[in-house]
């Protein structure tokens, strides 16, 4: 069994103040495969103190110096790519063939590095200097479903901004958090700039959310947990960036290529075993065309190869935990109980898999907006197909949700499809399956979050804005912010 007995604080591997550990369970084999040290409130205090001390000097470094740090991190990270891939397969069931989980973080590091090369940390409005300065110590709380990438996006933008940080990964992906800390240590990130405290949310997460020494908290996770983080952070009026739940809708317009829309939606919804906050888990199809799309949905869902995520031919592994497995099964049962039509998948384990938290790719039609599977985030491979009467009805159904993270539109008439896209109340909209861009902002409307990550917008979450007056001559040498 793998042993990870240390936290990472102030550039050193250190034991928790009160030694505790947790066993990580391999979701494929349903047995422990690693032990990881757990920190508590006292360890979070130590990490914040180290970050505050390091901020005094790291915040004064030049963009060029921070770029050099990122370049070193990229080099070391890429040398561990295969180890990361194998680890997250054991830890959370992500197939080794899903290379985006491992290659994506390096791409985001390069994007952040390239943005800061050209970013105007000083500009002018009239005769005033407008400075953007690092906000301070950042608490970074990341989830298990994108265990490396989400944490990397947070830490790399904090780094290029000149901030210092305390990271707390999900306990489900605590071992990959340790490996990421190892990467930063070997890349010689200055002591105290990056600190890792694995621990429970109600102890470490709550301490960081309340901590007066933390200037910003960036949290990715469930909406319920995000509300708790926001409430705790309000006591010290720290900046809060939240990326929370989603129940994204795909609107398939009557003039769309129905087969392309159906197959794309299944692939995108069931990617990562449906454990993605942007998953298009609601598919809205004109009432006259629902039966036309069903054969494509069923065929595409059955193309997934479920099995051991360490097998390169596997395209869907298990869901992350027994608790997640139970929750998904309860949602499937609710769909059956409330009268939705099951067209593929269901409650039974996939053939030949009598161990592991495996869920069949499942599709329901005849779903109405008031059903649980039509409203709640399931976070598993379950797709709800909802009929609509006309475009206004489709927008009403799509927007009738507490969430607003992503949205998708398929259609032939570009002008009409753009009108529908503009009518969706969500932070990221894709037309006909267009790929997203790492330079563009990501975030949600409504209960899907506050703030944005990635690109220039993501960088600015980690910066404060200062206006300086009286240096008219110096201001004239700076780029104009407006006009």
User: For the chain, how big is the Rg over CA atoms in Å?
Assistant: 23
Question: Which two structure tokens, joined as six digits, stand for 8?
Answer: 């990472």
Instruction: Give the CA distances from residue 165 to residues 59, 178, 198, 203, 230, in Å, rounded to whole numbers and listed in that order.
Output: 12, 15, 14, 18, 18
CA distance 107 to 315: 22
For the stretch 53-82, pLDDT in tens is 999 999 999 999 999 999 999 999 999 999
Residue 1's pLDDT is 87
Per residue in 371-398, is it b (16+ CB within 10 Å) or e — as a string? bbbbbbbbbbbbbbbbbbeebeebbebb
Delimiting residues of CATH 3.40.309.10 domain(s) in the chain = 249-431
Find the mean pLDDT for residues 334-355.
Answer: 97
For the stretch 424-434, pLDDT in tens is 999 999 999 99
Question: Is the confidence at residue 309, as pLDDT, over 90?
Answer: yes
Angle at 81 between CA 155 and CA 434, to 5 degrees: 70
Delimiting residues of CATH 3.40.605.10 domain(s) in the chain = 2-244+448-468
pLDDT band at 419 (very low <50, low <70, confident <90, very high): very high
For the stretch 109-125, pLDDT in tens is 999 999 999 999 999 99
Residue 482's pLDDT is 81
Cβ neighbours, 10 Å, residue 349: 16
Find the mean pLDDT for residues 277-286.
Answer: 97
CA distance 189 to 185: 6
Does the pTM surpass 0.95? The reply is yes
2-244+448-468 has CATH 3.40.605.10 classification? yes
Question: Average pLDDT over the chain, rounded to whole?
Answer: 97
Residue 310's pLDDT is 98
pLDDT band at 483 (very low <50, low <70, confident <90, very high): low
Q: Which residues are catalytic?
A: 243
- The answer to whether 286 and 411 are in contact (CB under 8 A) is no
Portion of the chain with pLDDT greater than 70, in percent: 100
Listed in sequence order, the DSSP H helices in 59-165 are: 63-79, 81-92, 100-118, 149-161
Question: Is the confidence at residue 243, as pLDDT, over 80?
Answer: yes
Question: Is the confidence at residue 308, as pLDDT, over 80?
Answer: yes
Instruction: Give the CA distances from residue 289 to residues 170, 200, 396, in Å, rounded to whole numbers and listed in that order.
Output: 42, 47, 19
CATH of the domain spanning 249-431: 3.40.309.10
- The answer to whether 177 and 132 are in contact (CB under 8 A) is no
Residue 374's pLDDT is 98
Phi, psi for residue 238 in degrees, rounded to 5 = -85, 155
pLDDT band at 373 (very low <50, low <70, confident <90, very high): very high
């Amino acid at each position: 069994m793998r042993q990870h007995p240390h936290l990472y604080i102030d550039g050193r591997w250190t034991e928790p103040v009160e030694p505790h550990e947790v066993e990580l369970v391999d979701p494929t084999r349903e047995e422990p495969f690693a032990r990881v040290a757990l920190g508590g409130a006292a360890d979070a205090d130590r990490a914040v103190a180290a970050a505050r001390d390091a901020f005094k000097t790291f915040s004064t470094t030049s963009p060029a110096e921070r770029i050099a740090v990122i370049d070193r991190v990229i080099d070391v990270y890429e040398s561990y790519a295969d180890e990361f891939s194998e680890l997250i397969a054991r830890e959370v069931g992500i197939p080794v063939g899903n290379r985006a989980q491992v290659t994506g973080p390096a791409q985001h590091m390069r994007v952040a590095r390239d943005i800061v090369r050209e970013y105007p940390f000083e500009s002018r409005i009239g005769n005033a200097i407008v400075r953007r300065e690092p906000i301070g110590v950042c608490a970074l709380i990341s989830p298990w479903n994108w265990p490396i990438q989400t944490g990397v996006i947070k830490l790399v933008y904090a780094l290029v901004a000149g901030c210092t940080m305390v990271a707390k990964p999900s306990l489900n992906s605590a071992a990959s958090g340790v490996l990421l800390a190892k990467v930063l240590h070997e890349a010689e990130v200055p002591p105290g700039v990056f600190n890792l405290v694995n621990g429970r949310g109600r102890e470490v997460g709550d301490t960081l959310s309340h901590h007066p020494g933390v200037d910003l908290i960036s949290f990715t996770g469930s909406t319920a947990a995000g509300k708790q983080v926001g409430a705790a952070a309000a006591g010290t009026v720290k900046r809060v960036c939240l990326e929370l739940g989603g129940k994204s809708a795909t609107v398939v317009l009557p003039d769309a290529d129905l087969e392309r829309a159906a197959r794309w939606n299944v692939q995108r919804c069931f990617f990562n075993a449906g454990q993605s906050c942007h998953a298009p888990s609601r598919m809205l199809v004109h009432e006259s065309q629902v039966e036309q799309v069903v054969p494509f949905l069923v065929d595409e869902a059955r193309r997934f190869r479920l099995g051991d995520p360490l097998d390169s031919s596997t395209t869907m592994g298990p869901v992350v935990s027994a608790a997640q497995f139970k929750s998904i099964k309860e949602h499937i049962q609710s769909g059956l109980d409330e009268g939705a039509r099951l067209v593929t998948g269901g409650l039974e384990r996939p053939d030949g898999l009598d161990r592991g938290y495996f869920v069949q790719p499942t599709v329901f039609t005849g779903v109405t907006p008031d059903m649980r599977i039509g409203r709640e985030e399931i976070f598993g491979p379950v797709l709800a197909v909802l009929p609509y009467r006309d475009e206004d009805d489709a927008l009403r159904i799509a927007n009738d949700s507490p969430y607003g993270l992503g949205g998708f539109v398929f259609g032939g008439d570009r002008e009409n499809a753009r009108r529908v896209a503009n009518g969706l109340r969500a932070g990221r909209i894709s037309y006909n399956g267009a790929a997203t861009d790492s330079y563009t902002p990501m975030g949600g409307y409504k209960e899907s979050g506050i703030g944005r990550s990635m690109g220039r917008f993501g960088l600015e979450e980690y910066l404060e804005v200062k206006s300086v007056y009286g240096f008219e001559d110096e201001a004239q040498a700076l780029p104009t912010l407006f006009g």
